[in-house]
Structure 1
Amino acid sequence: MTPPDRPVTASDRHIETRTSLVVCALIGVAVMAAVDEIVFHQILHWHHFYDRSTTAVGLLSDGLLHTAELLLLVAGFFLYADLRRRHALAPAHARAGFFLGLGTFQLFDGIVDHKLLRLHQIRYGVDVTPYDWAWNISAVILLLTGAVLALRAVRASGAGPLP
């Protein structure tokens, strides 16, 4: 820790690669939840988070999802700001984490929420197969993007694999 009257030098910095990745993954999850909730729940009216009850329960479930995503986003940005303040942010790892978070939410929603738990489908009244494929393929693309960025970040930092 440096005294307040002395500027931070390179030797004072401890870059936190794993924390940067995890914090930005949380932000990525929150952003993708927000995109899903805003676009598919509110704008397109394709589904609610929980569609196996009344419309009122569906709207309540959307509100709870929105609350969770907002809390996660705020917490993620506070943690991100702390990393920046301490000069501990690893930007390349943070970018990788963001894409991994986006893809993780998308794939979890597509497999667990849509198929295993059947909380809702992407859309009703149509053949959902092309929607499911598009949803899950986009998740895999986001995850692969995050994985490639993470590998590049690890190689560039020379730190070895992430713990």
Structure 2
Amino acid sequence: MGARGRSMAAAALIGAAVMAAVDEIVFHQILGWHHFYDRSTPSIGLLTDGLLHTAELLGLVAGFVWWADLRRRGTLAGGHAWAGLFLGAGGFQLFDGIVDHKLLRLHQIRYGVPDLLPYDLAWNASALVLLAIGAALAVRAARRSR
């Protein structure tokens, strides 16, 4: 993997970790809509939120160490890194929306509402917007680096 790919991958790790943090802080803690794993006791739900928080922090640290190393070596490709950030954030969001919410049914976006469809559509649509931005930035970065 070349410098462009490493720049994109490091930033994608940061993007996924940032989106996990937004999910965990906003939807798990502030709004209290769900826990990471809601198919057990509230204590288990809280434990799984802590494990998700641990994973996101490890992802942030690893991603920023990788990013800093690329920068120190003078090989960080800024355009590719921006693309990776959005691709990582959108990828996490879409994975969570489809795999965690629907396939594995670890949790739903929100409980106690008559219809989950608007929440699911908004969740996955926001993921697709982030992915589209990341893809557009990746194409732009590739064109500029020729």
The TM-score with structure 2 as length reference comes to 0.98
Name the residue aligned to 1:12: none
**Matched residue pairs, number?**
144
Structure 1 position 52, deviation (Å) = 0.1
2:86 aligned residue (99, 115, 137): 99
| Aligned counterpart, 2:136 | 148
CA–CA separation in structure 2 for the residues paired with 1:76 and 1:146:
17
Identity %: 72
Cα deviations by residue, 1:12-69 (Å, 9 ceiling, x for unpaired): xxx8101000000000000000000000000000000000000000000000000000
Q: What is the DSSP-based 3-state SS (H/G/I as helix, E as strand, rest coil) of the residue aligned with 2:108?
A: coil
CA distance in 2, matches of 1:141, 1:72: 22
Q: Give the ranges of 4+ consecutive aligned residues of structure 1 lying more than 2 Å apart after TM superposition.
A: none
The residue type equivalent to 1:143 in the other structure is: L
TM-superposed CA distance for 1:135, in Å, is 0.2
Q: Which residue of 2 aligns with 1:135?
A: 123
Q: For the residues of structure 2 that align with 1:140 and 1:134, how far apart are their CA atoms?
A: 10
Q: Which runs of 5+ in 2 are unaligned?
A: none
Which amino acid is the alignment partner of residue 94 of structure 2?
Answer: L
- Residue 62 (structure 2) pairs with residue 75 (structure 1): yes
Instruction: Quote the residue 2:24 is aligned against.
Output: 37
Give the superposition deviation at 1:83: 0.5
- The alpha carbon displacement at 1:75 in A equals 0.4
TM-score by length of 1: 0.87
Choose 1 or 2 for highest CA Rg.
Answer: 1
**Equivalent position to 2:77, from 72, 82, 90:** 90
Stretches of structure 1 that go unaligned for 5 or more consecutive residues are: 1-14, 159-163
Q: What residue is the counterpart of 1:19 in the other structure?
A: 6
- C-alpha distance in 1, partners of 2:92/2:3? 24
User: Do structure 1's residue 123 and structure 2's residue 88 form an aligned pair?
Assistant: no
Match of 2:100 in 1: 113
